[in-house]
Amino acid sequence: MASAAAAAIAEKPASASVAAFVQQSEGAKIVNGTALAKDIRASVASRISTLRAQNPRFHPHLAIVQVGSRPDSTAYIRTKSKACEEAGIKSTHIQLAGNSTTEEVIEVVKKLNADESVSGVLVQLPIGDGDGIGPDNERRVIEALGPEKDVDG
């Protein structure tokens, strides 16, 4: 089952301790986030390879839902998609019109919940262009995500 394998990826610790990426400097701790992220992606890629060797039909797949075309959100999604590629995870960017209704977005989320080929779903916030759909409706969309597929929850 895709969600069980996805959980197996997430449950193991990164290959190196976070402490290896922290330096002390004049009372402040400096974290090398770039190196830490690279290490985590390599660790995830290794775990995915192991899981695929055990189950060749396992192909992790992240669906990213974006409503609208905010440049900052689009750039962030590109970064997430690149990280997925480096870790051996397929990513699909689903872009909906900025004026999509809450019900239309929830319908897409429900279809992704039911899609067995999708291991996880990420809804890019804020939802919509400009003021978006508002915090109450954003919460409705997030609550529509199945907990087994909610990668941010």
Strands 22-25 and 28-31, by their bridges, are antiparallel
Q: Which of 72, 124, 129, 136 is catalytic?
A: 124
Q: Answer yes or no: are the C-beta atoms of 84 and 91 closer than 8 Å.
A: yes
Annotation says 54 is catalytic: no
Annotation says 124 is catalytic: yes
Q: Which of 54, 110, 111, 152 is catalytic?
A: 152
Annotation says 149 is catalytic: no
Q: Answer yes or no: are the C-beta atoms of 95 and 36 closer than 8 Å.
A: no
Phi, psi of 96 (to 5 degrees): -105, 160
Beta bridge partners of 5: none
Q: Which of 39, 66, 80, 149 is catalytic?
A: 80
Q: What is the 3-state secondary structure (H, E, C) of 42-58?
A: HHHHHHHHHHHHHCCCC
Active-site residues: which are they? 80, 124, 152
